[in-house]
Amino acid sequence: MRAHLRAEGIYLTSECGEFCVCFVCFCLFFWKEVCNVLKMLQLGDGVTCFSALFVFVLLGTRSAVCSISLTAILYLFLVVFRFPQVPASRARQVLRPGRLAPGGVSVVAHRAGAHDAPENTIAAIRAASANGATGVELDLEFTADGVPILMHDETVDRTTNGSGPLSKLRFSEVGKLDAAAKHRLSDRFRGEKVPTLQEAVEECIKHQLIIYFDVKGHPDEAAAALKQLYEKHPVLYNSSVVCSFEPKVIYRMRQADPDVVTALTHRPWSLSHFGDGSPRFSSAWKQHWMQVMDVLLDWAHHHLLWKLCGVSAFLLQKNYISMDTVQYWAERGVEVVAWTVNTAVEKNFYQQQLNINYITDSLTEDCEPHY
């Protein structure tokens, strides 16, 4: 009997999760259709969004007062707290530097070119420059004693000969590790060290590389560290962009220094699935709930977060980019950057057909993506 009830409970939980996903999808589909109708009236993007919100709330509450109030609150929130985009001319200088050939795109080495050299190292930066990269994407992390360094993961296990979380390792300990230990070309780059953010930036400036600072977390610490760098190296204002999956990071950066060019990074379904497409959660209700969150997050990126943060670029996973996507963001003054583009066929498509910047793990050969 208990086993039967438990099985029924699991079934009901799964059914409820599926219902929630379907309900949210229906609501967003309805919202999209309302937006499309309003767009046909050529009211403008802002008016369309707030008009759709008004209609949606009105149908849900059947109260004009509630609809007007909620719409007004959202409007005032965006007016008061949003950051304007940096001037388009300066954003373009960063995203499409003048040294590019007419119609050319920026080719950015992911983690400084993780396939061609040990990721996030000085050696990788030099290799990226030698191989013709326009810029490099660098991952910012912090050691236990607050030193900003280049590291993608929260631990040193995957890329070095050490182990343990960065939150428990001081820089004096991290500095002794071999950053090339786990790389396919470890013999060639043996002894390569984990660089500080300062060392990496100076190397990039030396090679005139555009820098894409990828910040995974620590919004306050990252904003403070980057602000200090921009003050020390003003050239970064015209040669770098701060990007993150976390809107809070970008918002904190704009608060610390509104003149910095910024970008939001996004992969649809990232909350519920890993980069290879496999589910993040074994629990059915958790998986369904995060799918609901994914739908809401995707909508927020396209309609609210970019405007609130005042970003100049949108770094989007390559499989979700089309000409319509590029056009959608171009109408909002935002450039699309594709990641991670690792085959010659794909590179040709994004460069020749879509004419957008792309991020790649290798500038020398086709390779598997690093998630």
Could you report the per-residue pLDDT of 30-63, keeping only the tens digit for each?
Answer: 445 445 544 443 445 555 565 566 566 656 666 7
pTM above 0.75, yes or no: yes
**191 and 126 in a common domain:** yes
Could you tell me which residues are beta bridge partners of residue 108?
A: 135, 359
**73 and 105 in a common domain:** no
Q: Residue 9 CB: number of other CB atoms within 10 A?
A: 10
**204 and 56 in a common domain:** no
Q: Maximum distance among all alpha carbons in the chain?
A: 74
**38 and 110 in a common domain:** no
Last residue of a domain, one of 36, 59, 81: 81
Q: How much is the pLDDT for 41? A: 39
Residue 130 CA: distances (Å) to CA of 189, 283, 346, 357: 16, 47, 22, 19
Q: Of 207 and 21, which is predicted with more confidence?
A: 207
Last residue of a domain, one of 81, 111, 130: 81
Range of the domain at 24: 2-81
**93 and 68 in a common domain:** no
* 182 within some domain: yes
Q: Which residue has the tokens 């040709």?
A: 348
- Reading the block at residue 274, the tokens are 């890993």
- Domain total in the chain: 2
* 368 within some domain: no
* 367 within some domain: no
* 152 within some domain: yes
Burial class (CB in 10 A: 0-12, 13-18, 19+), 133: buried
Residue pair 156/169 in contact (Cβ under 8 Å)? The answer is yes
**70 and 119 in a common domain:** no
* pLDDT bucket at 368, cuts 50 / 70 / 90: confident
Q: How much is the pLDDT for 42? A: 42
| Tens digit of each residue's pLDDT (9 = 90 or more) over 212-242 | 999 998 999 999 999 999 999 999 999 999 9
Q: Residue 61 CB: number of other CB atoms within 10 A?
A: 13
**223 and 158 in a common domain:** yes
**11 pLDDT higher than 50:** no
Residue 354 CA: distances (Å) to CA of 131, 153, 190, 299, 366: 23, 31, 39, 23, 20
Q: What is the DSSP letter of 319?
A: G
Last residue of a domain, one of 81, 115, 146: 81
**3 pLDDT higher than 70:** no
Q: Of 98 and 266, which is predicted with more confidence?
A: 266
Residue pair 350/316 in contact (Cβ under 8 Å)? The answer is no
| Tens digit of each residue's pLDDT (9 = 90 or more) over 102-152 | 778 999 999 999 999 999 999 999 999 999 999 999 999 999 999 999 999
Q: How much is the pLDDT for 81? A: 82
Could you tell me which residues are beta bridge partners of residue 123?
A: none
Q: How much is the pLDDT for 37? A: 44
Average pLDDT of span 189-216: 98
Burial class (CB in 10 A: 0-12, 13-18, 19+), 255: middle
Residue 111 CA: distances (Å) to CA of 137, 290, 314, 315, 347: 5, 28, 18, 14, 18
**160 pLDDT higher than 50:** yes
**240 and 140 in a common domain:** yes
